[in-house]
Amino acid sequence: MDSQRAQEISNSKNMISVSYKGDPVYIEHVDQSNGHVTIHPLDDPTSKKSVDVTELIEH
């Protein structure tokens, strides 16, 4: 995935399925300047991490 698409998903009112290493995640923030996103697993909103946007997969 690229930063622009991650931002579109983050801003969307619809739930768009995204995964990180096979686990469904929610995109909290996109930093387009460095290509990183802050995500958390759908089942654990307190477990946030910053990852490279290219590691996300849209389904």
pLDDT tens digits, one per residue of 4-52: 999 999 999 999 999 999 999 999 999 999 999 999 999 999 999 999 9
Q: Taking the CB of residue 40, how many other CB atoms lie within 10 A of it?
A: 16
Q: Which two tokens stand for residue 9?
A: 């998903």
Record the pTM: 0.92
Phi, psi of 9, deg, nearest 5? -65, -45
CB 52 within 8 A of CB 36: yes
Return the closest-CA partner of residue 20 out of 43, 51, 44: 51
